[in-house]
Structure 1
Amino acid sequence: MARTQVGIIGAGPAGLLLSYLLHSEGIEAVVLEARSREYVEKRVRAGVCEHPTVELLREIGVGTRLDAEGLPHQGFSLRFDGQDHRIAITELTGKTITVYGQQEVVKDLIAAHEERGWPIEFEVSEVALHDLETKNPHITYRDVDGVERRLDCDVLAGCDGFHGVSRPSIPAERAKMFNRDYPFAWLGVLARTPPSHEELIYTHHPRGFALHSMRSPEVTRLYLQVPHDEKIDDWSDDRIWSELAERLETSNKDFSLREGPILDKGITPMRSFVIEPMSHGRLFLAGDAAHIVPPTGAKGMNLAVADVRVLSRALVELLQHKRTELVESYSDTCLKRVWRAEHFSWYMTSMLHVDPTADDFDRRLQLSQLRYTASSRAAATSLAENYAGLPFV
């Protein structure tokens, strides 16, 4: 039997950042992760870091590689009617976003833990949470060698994603779930080819949404809207490139899609989800364990960072100063930002995707919204402000 102050389930950005922030304040924490280190360091997920996320990573001393390899962007394009309409983020808000893969943030945080000797246990199994409504919760699990372990804690942090064990540990009658499934999915590919454009392109096309993004000067990330029940085996590389070329084409033919070897491809369902409250007893949820947003608004990892910023301060107050006000208000504080991000992500998704249930009236409204957003400085500023990231609480 072992003991720590905070037991953290999940070694994604939320769990690793929480552990880093707590250790930096002198609070002991142990991170438990079901997957291997290699898996979490290669897991391709989000790629856009909001301005506040970048500032935080720099502030705490894990932004060196981000500054060296990240790609700062001052705007992005809305492409519809075959034309680009640039949203000038920096001009409108004074902020930038940085393209830097979630897996790179994870690598940086794991390296920082390793350098300082802070514990992360990979490849654990049979994780179960106990005594959540007491001041002495604990975790049982099997370690990488299959040995049964028990970790006694003062607090548990569930940072293990939508399919983890943390959220289901909350009794159903103690929480309310809000859920929306979308009638389409994203087919995402990672290709070894230089980006075809210097900034992200969000495209509305009659055949469906497409997104041109990047991960480095040599690697491009691209997405296509597909039916929610689509099978990846039905999409050959040639079909993917052909569909991307058609959707991303401009009316004046000034855009040329660069093709290259596809390194990875997969289909991601689209959903919105929130649990209220984000805590139960001594268990606090953060990141995808508590909420999911469709990826159109680039909010997933950034919401996790915002949660952890609030939670780390609350736990410092609880564990070092015996003050409970911040842990008691943790859920309410986070949910204000969560619902703002949920709305923005829904807005971007509904504005840019082709809804298979929509009629001609709906489609005209959609184009009207796009045209207004591209032509109104006020509308563009609102979009840019939300996209670049609202200030941390």
Structure 2
Amino acid sequence: MESDSEMVPFPLLMTPIESNYRACTIPYRFRSDNPHKATPTEIAWIDLFLNSIPSFKKRAESDPTVPDAPSKAENFAQRYMEILEDMKNDPESHGGPPDCVLLCRLREQVLRELGFRDIFKKVKDDENEKAISLFGHVVRLNDAIDDEGKRVENLVRGIFAGNIFDLGSAQLAEVFSRDGMSFLASCQNLVPRPWVIDDLDTFKIKWSKNPWKKAVIFVDNSGADIILGILPFARELLQRGTQVVLAANELPSINDVTYPELVEIISKLKDEHGNLLGVDMSNLFIANSGNDMPVIDLTRVSQELVYLSGDADLVILEGMGRGIETNFYAQFKCDSLKIGMVKHPEVAQFLGGRLYDCVFKYNEVIS
């Protein structure tokens, strides 16, 4: 499912020996647990993935690229449900014990075996077009804020508001299907600070020193997330002289933006001078991360990303999948930021926060 080229560790990740790195954040089981009996945490997460099946089936049924899509969508729902029920009965079946990486991988595997490559393509394209039309307005609102600290906080709130567009959450998929999403309203309606993890004030102090020469941002969703959340933030970094590498998935997964889609988005946002609303883009690089899931194991990334990011001094993991469900405790050789909205009750409970709470976890490496 992943890139044909050899996958290698992300160079800025502390080695597993130094950091005890494991991709998944939440411990699903411990060594003392019975290997043949699913733990309560495993069952809760299996149920979470079971609850997502109807929304995935609905998207698959309407995929115009797959012949006999409704029948194949039904096959997907049945096969994936059977796999999940098998894992409840025997957690070591299907390559287990289960964690969020394996549960995502199995879902993508079943979809692709049935011929489904990108069941969220239409909704991604529609949301990208809507967000592109709003990009200039959102950027001008940010640019009009003279106070640097307030402008940074506004940009961060934009990332959280954009990150709501996540069709991997069954609850949000239902809300989106019924009501759509308003980016500006979402900015206003974020849960109040302090958030469940809130290092924003520390980050703003470091930001004011203009310290970073190069930032790598692992991006998340299409639509408002990438276009109205991440790109205004990246543009601000570019304006301050920071090189920016945006790392996007190689293959489609849920409504995550892919490398080819991101290249197309950037081309549509360029003005006649090749700038991003007046900001030079010569220091903006788009990278194929080699990933094909909404979560990521940083011991397996593309060689292209390694080449582009080896000298970075800031790593940003955006979104619940990449920055909270995986890599929340990942340690890096440089400054790092994990930023995302909590969209699963199980994650909120683990963090001791609220559903739709915000995580802004900043770690500074002292030279």
TM-score range, shorter chain: under 0.3
Q: Which has the higher contact order (CA 8 A, sep 6+)?
A: 2
Name whichever structure is richer in helix by fraction.
2
- TM-score, normalized by length of structure 2? 0.26
Which structure is larger by alpha-carbon Rg, 1 or 2? 1
